A and B are shown apart, each in its own frame.
Chain A
């Protein structure tokens, strides 16, 4: 591997790490606060991408307005899921997971009916790019994803650490009943977590729509990635999710560059199984919730 290719792969990995972190953090947030494995997370990502398809590629709105619309739209989808599915099923440990599978199928069908099964052509919003020494290229399109990940995740971090809502959210993630006894509204924290978690997936989808192959079934590979990251990082650990997203993105991108994509997926999954065997709660995870 030449030095340029190596550096280029590092840049590519950074981009991959950014959107994977956005997705995984949302997934972990939802699991932590609500105790639900949100199988439809990949489809929320897909919904974000299709918002950009509809508004930017089809209707010609500016790219960033479409991305903002994607954030809000997918966040609202998250609120809908919380209200219609997860809240009635709070006492059913497997119920939320099952209901989210049902929701996944519905979202997928809507995308198929509305846009067709074929790959959408989303033109890049800008042709500009950084060219570093040695010909390493970082397009602005990818830079947006990196900036958004850094910006949104730091904002989330400050929100969780410094604001009252953030404290409530983390308290609920630790012990829902105890938090409720302290006068925190479980419904409100659940709504908040669901909105943030879904919106993060939506933003990731919206920003990467011009960069990946946008199809109604794009969520599948995303949910696999999210699973790997959160299991290796430990379910319920936001910092772990970010760190492992970076780690996984580098491993995956490098294996893809050197060998091929299928092998990269296999390596990722085997890494995850290895971590599960050595430390079933994940690298940064706390004890499993009872």
Chain B
């Protein structure tokens, strides 16, 4: 169970850590090949996707509509850019807001349920949306099973060409960093604490006057907004989207990242998506077994759920414990020597 932390003072260790991380993230694309840079862009987008997913899981509900919600953002943004010819940054906001609005509408039927019922109903609701993209009568709008092509890219800013993966990576990095900061602040705020309360004691929360439906809806809408943003970032980068890109298989990957990383901490899902993407791209690509990829993911998922129920994030305190433990030991010996000295 996650404990609300109270870090008023930002210690110097944290500061150095952040600077180092930022430095690595800025320098990273320059040591990678072109195709790896492209994967890096997708990885950053997926980080936002899985972190937005985690916000909903704070309330204890697991949705299976998240990939479709991401698709809503992608489709709305792409359509706004293609048909209405709005400027692309505005389209991305429209996409994210549309995703949030769809989540708002969906929450009325969906949050009449909890647990497995919610899970399955969210799956069904997502499939309805996804099938409507495929439906032949709406092909003029959504492009049918083949989806939308030639989505306008992000226009050049000054002399920066966002068609280059490196530049788009920096753009995504900024957008995702700001989004993560917002998500983090939300989680640490009173609202976030209420989400936790609803997860662990929803009846008790209700009895002290918390409108659990409203808060569940809020979590769903916020998480959908950022998922939609991730979808918009994806659509304008890749330039083509299709209904199958947002199918249940993609949803399964989001689930796997979240589960393998762990959802108790903010960084858990990020560890999950980064670790699995690196494993996938570095190990599996070098082995050259593309067809085996789902099996690999399935096996990782099963091993994770069986042997690491807390996910990869559960390993972090242990690793930390080795260092901190050693320091504690040193302190203890020092203290003992001091005691001995004073006693003597």
Instruction: List the interface of chain A (C-beta within 8 A of B).
Output: 31, 37, 85, 88-89, 92-95, 97-99, 101-106, 108-110, 112-113, 220, 224, 227-228, 230-231, 235, 260, 262-263, 265-266, 269-270, 272-273, 276-277, 280-281, 288
Contact in complex: B131, A262 (CB < 8 Å): yes
CA distance A277 to B125 in the complex (A): 12
B114 at the interface (CB under 8 A from A): yes
Q: Which residues on A sit within 8 Å (CB–CB) of B116?
A: 31, 37, 97, 235
Contacting A at CB under 8 A, from B111-146, are 112-117, 119-121, 123-125, 127-128, 131-132, 134-137
Contact across chains for A92 and B305 when beta carbons are under 8 A apart: yes
When chains A and B are docked, how far (Å) is the Cα of A243 from the Cα of B109? 24
Q: Hey, which chain A residues are within 8 Å of B252, CB to CB?
A: 101, 104-105
Please report the C-alpha to C-alpha distance between residue A235 and residue B136 in the assembled complex, in whole angstroms. Answer: 33
Q: Give the docked Cα–Cα distance between A108 and B124 (Å).
A: 22
Q: Please, could you name 18 A-B residue pairs with CB atoms under 8 Å apart, sorted by A?
A: A37-B119, A85-B302, A92-B305, A93-B115, A97-B119, A98-B301, A102-B301, A106-B302, A108-B294, A109-B291, A220-B247, A224-B124, A224-B127, A266-B128, A273-B125, A277-B108, A277-B109, A281-B117
CB-defined contacts of B134 to chain A, threshold 8 Å:
262
Quote the shortest CB–CB distance from A232 to chain B (angstroms): 10
Q: Which residues, 132 to 171 on B, are CB-close (under 8 Å) to A?
A: 132, 134-137
Q: B interface, how many residues as a size bin? A: 35 or more
Residue in B closest to A40 when the chains form the complex, CB atoms: B298
What's the A-B contact tally at a CB cutoff of 8 Å?
122
Contact A102 B125 (CB under 8 A): no
Contacting residues, chain A, for B291 (C-beta < 8 A): 109, 112-113
Q: Is B248 an interface residue (CB 8 A)?
A: yes
Give every chain B residue within 8 A of A269 (Cβ-Cβ): 124-125, 127-128, 131
Across the A-B interface, the 7 shortest Cβ-Cβ residue pairs: A105-B298, A109-B295, A102-B301, A102-B302, A102-B298, A105-B294, A106-B298
**Interface status of B299 (Cβ within 8 A of chain A):** yes
Q: Is the CB of A220 within 8 A of B248?
A: yes
What residues of chain B lie closer than 8 Å to A108, measured between beta carbons? Answer: 294
Q: A132 to B132, alpha carbons, bound, how many Å?
A: 38
Known: A37-B116, A109-B292. A273 touches B131 (CB 8 A): no
Residues of B within 8 A of A89 (CB): 305-306
Tell me which residues across on chain A come within 8 A of B113, comparing CB atoms. Answer: 276, 280
Q: Name the B residues within 8 Å of A280 (CB-CB).
A: 112-113, 117
Residue of chain B at shortest CB distance from A274: B109
Whether B305 contacts A231 by the Cβ 8 Å rule is: no
**Contact between A105 and B128, CB atoms less than 8 A apart:** no
Give A227's nearest chain B residue, CB to CB: B120
Which residue in A101, A113, A224, A230 is a CB contact (below 8 Å) of B292? A113
Q: Are A262 and B120 in contact (CB under 8 A)?
A: no
Contact partner of A227 (CB less than 8 A), chosen from B114, B124, B136, B297, is: B124
Given A92-B305, A266-B132, A272-B124: A101 touches B255 (CB 8 Å cut-off): yes
* B259 on the A face (CB < 8 A): yes
Contacts of B255 in A (CB 8 A): 98, 101
Closest Cβ–Cβ distance, residue A242 to chain B (whole Å): 19
Prevailing SS type, chain B contact patch: helix
A288 touches B117 (CB 8 A): yes
The answer on a CB contact under 8 Å between B306 and A88 is yes
Q: Which residues does chain B contribute within 8 Å of A105, judged by CB atoms?
A: 252, 294-295, 297-298, 301
Given the known inter-chain contacts A101-B301, A288-B115, please indicate yes or no for A276 contacting B121, CB distance below 8 A.
yes
- Nearest B-chain residue to A268, judged by Cβ: B124
Q: Which residues of A contact B306 (CB under 8 A)?
A: 85, 88-89, 99
Asked if B234 is at the interface (CB within 8 A of a chain A CB), the reply is no
Quick one: given A231-B124, A265-B127, A276-B109, are A92 and B309 in contact (CB under 8 Å)? yes
The CA of A220 and the CA of B123, in the complex, are separated in Å by: 12
Find out whether the CB atom of B298 lies under 8 angstroms from the CB atom of A101.
yes
Nearest Cβ distance between residue A240 and chain B, in whole angstroms?
14
* Chain A residues, CB < 8 A from B293: 109
Task: Give the residues in chain A near B62, CB-CB below 8 Å.
Answer: 94
CB contacts (< 8 Å) of B124 on chain A: these are 224, 227-228, 231, 269, 272-273
CB B276 to nearest CB in A, in angstroms, measures 13
B112→A99 contact, CB < 8 A: no
> How far is A54 from B306 in the complex, measured between Cα atoms in Å?
32
Q: A92-B305, A277-B109 are in contact. Are A266 and B298 (CB under 8 A)?
A: no
* CB-nearest residue of chain A to B124: A269
Residue of B nearest to A265 (CB): B131
Residues of B within 8 Å of A113, CB to CB, are 291-292
Q: Which residues of B contact A265 (CB under 8 A)?
A: 127, 131
Q: How far is the CB of A100 from chain B (nearest CB, A)?
A: 9
**In the bound complex, what is the Cα–Cα distance between A69 and B127 (angstroms)?**
34
Question: Please, which residue of chain A has its CB at the minimum distance from the CB of B109?
Answer: A277
Residues in B neighbouring A93, C-beta threshold 8 A: 115
Do B305 and A109 touch across chains, with their CB atoms under 8 A apart? no
Complex CA–CA separation, A103 to B131 (angstroms): 26
A227-B124, A231-B121, A273-B128 known; A288-B114 Cβ under 8 A: yes
A-chain residues with CB within 8 Å of residue B305 when the two chains form the complex: 89, 92, 95, 98-99, 102
How far does the alpha carbon of A227 sit from the alpha carbon of B123 in the complex, in Å? 9
The answer for the CA separation of A276 and B117 in the assembled complex, in Å, is: 9
Known: A103-B302, A288-B115. 14 other contacts (CB 8 A): A37-B116, A89-B306, A104-B298, A105-B297, A109-B291, A109-B293, A109-B294, A109-B295, A231-B117, A235-B117, A262-B135, A266-B135, A269-B131, A276-B109
Query: B128 — nearest CB in chain A belongs to which residue?
Result: A269
Question: Which residues 278-317 of B have a CB within 8 angstroms of A?
Answer: 291-295, 297-302, 305-306, 309
A228 CA to B305 CA in the complex, in Å? 27
B115 to chain A, nearest CB (A): 7
